[in-house]
Structure 1
Amino acid sequence: MTTGDGVAIVGAGIVGTALAFRLAERGEAVTLFDAGAPGTLGPSRGNAGHIAASDIFPLSHPGIALEALGMLANPNGPLKIDPRYLPTLAPWLATFLRTGSGERFEAATRAISLLCDGTVAATERLFADAGIANCLRRVPALYVYDSAGSLDAAGAGWRRKAAAGHPSTLVDQDQLRELEPALSHAFAGGVLSHHWGQVSDPKAVVDGLYDAARGHGAAFRQARVEAIVPSETGVTVREEGRDQRFARVVVAAGVRSGDFAARLGEKLPVTAEGGYNVTYPSPFIAVNHPLVFADHGMVSTSLRPGLRIGGWAEYAGPDASFRPAYHDRIARIAKRFFPRLDQRDQIRWAGRRPSMPDSTPVISRSTVDPRLFYATGHGHYGLTWSARTAEIMTALMDGDEAAAAPFSIRRFNR
């Protein structure tokens, strides 16, 4: 048994590496644990690269149940649920549906807004301090809509976002063609969302934060953590036959975070949400904005590795096999979006996002032991919220309980 008084972070994705850097920067002795190299096993390396500061609403909303049925009936729809997984998913789905209206919806919106407000500036600070400022640029996102009806239906949401301090500009069909000439002319119009940013390469961001953390003395153990065991003298991280004792431990283990919580006697309803994308290294078209295809649950971004197109939400369990047919469908849809897209040498990726039923991450002290913390459940927004999560978690670890109150695990353990 080795002993120590530092901080262990279980999970070396975008959230774990951002926190590791911020803690190491201020002199904490930090050890990162992950079964793979930083940013490789979870969704961090394969995300769309957006800093989506204006996305302040939970995914569940009034009318979501009927919308979901339509999505499930459409082979090219953005929602997939494996029927064999449905009994396991049912409690999560029930909470998800309850979030879609009334005070639950408003509470989730308030919490998410705390993360979104200032998140582009927080990300700029984080990247500058870590020496990777060149990985980020401020750029509006362009939401595109298939029809005038769907664009009109989205108007109330955009007006509420504007009232909350996230301005946008309506774009007609002619302006859409000027902004993005490579797009299909089938889209009816769009909305420019001005509070947005984009990274050049999501994997390079994780690598840069990891290198910056190492530069401040952080250590890394590439090993699968088997258990986290509190005791009177510290919190033990047990991995592959080796025990290390720490003063504090943060669980940032993505879809596996719920397993650790369950073993500790806590409820953490994080589920694995599969996502798919295809990257085209030589697309031979120019895409000028981060694009959101609002009626398809898909996004597109011009990144350093190429033009990335993907999205969707698949619920099949953390160990389910990914489906190559979904990549085939995304590739066909991509050609409809961009008729002149060169689809040669495409790179296909799939991963599982750690999603919460109320779309609100858990950034929290454990209810079981005050030396245990959680930073997980960011769903589609791990990159977007990583800088703010690091700020909130460091404040919480310094004793500022109010800073993290809206994200407490207690909301599931009452």
Structure 2
Amino acid sequence: MTHVIVIGAGVIGLSSALALQARGLRVTVLDREGPAAGASAGNAGAFAFTDILPLASPGLLRKAPGWLMDPLGPLSVPPRYALRIAPWMFRFWRACAPARVARSTVAQTALMDLSRAELEPFMAATGTGHMLRKDGSLQVYESQAEFDASLPGWQARADHGIAFRHMDAEEMAQLQPGLAPRFTHGTFTPNWYSIADPRLYVLALAERFRAAGGTIEQAQVTALAADGTGVTVTAAGRRRQADHAVLAAGAHSKDLARTLGDRIPLETERGYNTTLPAGAFDLRLQVIFGGHGFVVSRLSTGIRVGGAVELGGLALPPNFRRAEAMLAKARTFLPGLNTEGGTQWMGFRPSLPDTLPVIGPARASTRVIHAFGHGHLGLTQSAGTARLVADLVTGAAPAIDPQHFSPQRF
């Protein structure tokens, strides 16, 4: 039986492992910490299928200078990391050119459509369908000018058939009571899905994978090698042989890809959040404070306040003042929010400068498939990525054109 080693036990790795297992392959998952140990546990819990516009865009470039002036704002770069991040920032700036944004939007839309189509069948097959919520989301704005600036993006979504409804303050209050009066406009997106709890979802995937005969081992992978006959994975001082490998180690994928000769400009967005007790606020749906770079999510395990972007790599210590700053804003924006008893978290989002993931074969061998770099959209794009990975490993016709996501595009 064909044997595949999947490196990474987050939502991308385990979704891919299950998709491969469903096609009759023997699959082993290796992870340095175990299932749901990274960003897959601490994300906002959204399936943001309507986010078809790449983060790299002229609109973000206009906002970035103001955001960077605030060290606790939506976007920050620690001074001691600024020189290291400069080449990535230059690539990001180039990706914001209108022609490149147009190409990225086509690719992002295709992967979003595939991921949405695959999600519910995948959840039904893995016994996790009861965890899916379809409450929608509410994006809020503080002025007519901020609302007007959002309209081109909503028009792009409308052109793709995405449903939404603009609202005034009174309509928003009916949908989500308790918003501060400073928010004068909003947009409700009904087809924005969420998960009851992202960590519990990934742990359920791990349990399903094991029950079907899969193996998950805690082992730190240090190198990959491949030739025409197979793949060698070095982990915990031991060499393991397989017919294929899938590299889905999130923010830790860059160095492993380099052992195969792939120099992929992966960087790490450090995300922060605070999860409050479930009774902290009567939250009806996810509320997005886009102008401040964070969201408030209703999970089965509590109310999560988190987001923002800190481009600070893997090694710097966390700066939990960022979590505290978001929580303070959330208390102002939702005056009834009880901010006591929260648990802080920081995790690493694997991000590429054009805000598209890499999903495709390594330069050295088609027997290794890269599947990482999803940024803020790992949960959202997990089922679609799993479908593509399974197609590529088994030689099936890919569900969508994988060239947009080629690891060699850089």
CA distance in 1, matches of 2:114, 2:264: 27
Query: In 2, Cα distance between the equivalents of 1:165 and 1:118?
Result: 15
**Counterpart AA for 2:183:** F
CA contact (8 A) 2:12 2:379 kept: yes
Q: Is residue 2:7 matched to residue 1:35?
A: no
1:16 aligns with 2:13: yes
Residue 383 of structure 1 aligns to a residue in which SS?
coil
Q: 1:410 is matched by which residue type in structure 2?
A: Q
Q: What are the residue-to-residue correspondences of 1:64-79 with 2, within 5 Å? A: 64-79=60-75
In the alignment, is residue 156 of structure 1 matched against residue 115 of structure 2? no
Distance 2:52 2:10 in 1: 23
In the alignment, the residues of structure 2 paired with residue 30 and residue 172 of structure 1 have an alpha-carbon distance, to the nearest angstrom, of 51
Work out which of the residue numbers 401, 407, 410 in structure 2 matches 1:409.
Answer: 407
Cross-structure match for 2:378: 382
Cα distance in 2 for residues equivalent to 1:403 and 1:66: 32
Match of 2:192 among 189, 193, 196: 196
Amino acid at match of 1:389: T
Tell me if 1:370 matches 2:366: yes
- Establish whether residue 213 from structure 1 lines up as the match of residue 209 from structure 2: yes
Of 262, 272, 277 in structure 2, the residue corresponding to residue 276 of structure 1 is 272
RMSD of aligned Cα (Å)? 1.5
- Please, which runs of 5 or more residues in structure 2 have no aligned partner? none
Deviation at 1:119, TM superposition (A): 3.0
Q: Which moved more, 1:321-330 or 1:230-239?
A: 230-239
> Do the aligned partners of 1:72 and 1:79 also contact (CA within 8 Å) in 2?
yes
1:256 and 2:252 correspond = yes
In the alignment, residue 404 of structure 2 is paired with which amino acid? Answer: P
Superposed CA deviations along residues 197-230 of structure 1, whole A, max 9, x for unmatched, are: 0100001110111111112211111011111122
Q: Which moved more, 1:306-315 or 1:331-340?
A: 331-340
Spell out the pairing of 1:4-403 with structure 2 (5 A cutoff).
5-40=2-37, 42-231=38-227, 233-399=229-395, 400=397, 403=401
Give CA deviations for 1:273-331 in whole Å, capped at 9, x if unaligned.
Answer: 00001111144421111111111110111101101011000011111110121122122
CA contact (8 A) 1:6 1:248 kept: yes
Alpha-carbon distance change, 184 to 75 in structure 1, aligned in 2, over 3 angstroms: farther
Q: Is the 1:25–1:216 contact (alpha carbons within 8 Å) kept by the matching residues of 2?
A: no
Deviation (angstroms), 1:120: 3.2
Find the aligned partners of 1:119 and 1:141 in 2 and give their Cα distance: 18
- Partners of 2:210 and 2:103 in 1: how far apart? 38
What are the Cα deviations for residues 85-111 of structure 1, in whole angstroms up to 9, with x where unaligned?
A: 122211211111111122211111111
Amino acid at match of 1:411: R
Q: Check the 8 A contact 2:57/2:98 in 1, yes or no.
A: no
- How many pairs were matched up? 408
Identity across matched positions, percent: 36
Shift of 1:158: 0.3
CA change 1:118–1:411 in 2 (3 A) is closer
Alpha carbons 1:277, 1:327 under 8 Å: kept: yes
Q: SS of 1:31's equivalent?
A: strand
- Deviation (angstroms), 1:383: 0.3
Shift of 1:232: 5.3
CA contact (8 A) 1:79 1:312 kept: yes
8 Å CA contact 2:2, 2:25 repeated in 1? no
CA shift, 1:26, in A, is 2.1
Segment drifting more, 61-70 vs 302-311 = 61-70
Which sections of structure 1, spanning at least 5 residues, go unmatched? none
Q: What is the one-letter code of the residue matched to 1:141?
A: S
- Aligned equivalents of 2:176, 2:151: Cα separation in 1: 22
| TM-score for both structures, normalised by structure 1 | 0.95
Is residue 283–residue 341 contact of structure 1 (8 Å, CA) maintained in 2?
no
Any idea what the Cα deviations from partners look like across 1:132-174, whole Å, max 9, x if unmatched? 1001022221101111110111011101111112121001011
Runs of 4+ aligned structure 1 residues displaced above 4 Å come to: none
Of 271-280 and 283-292, more deviation after overlay is shown by 283-292
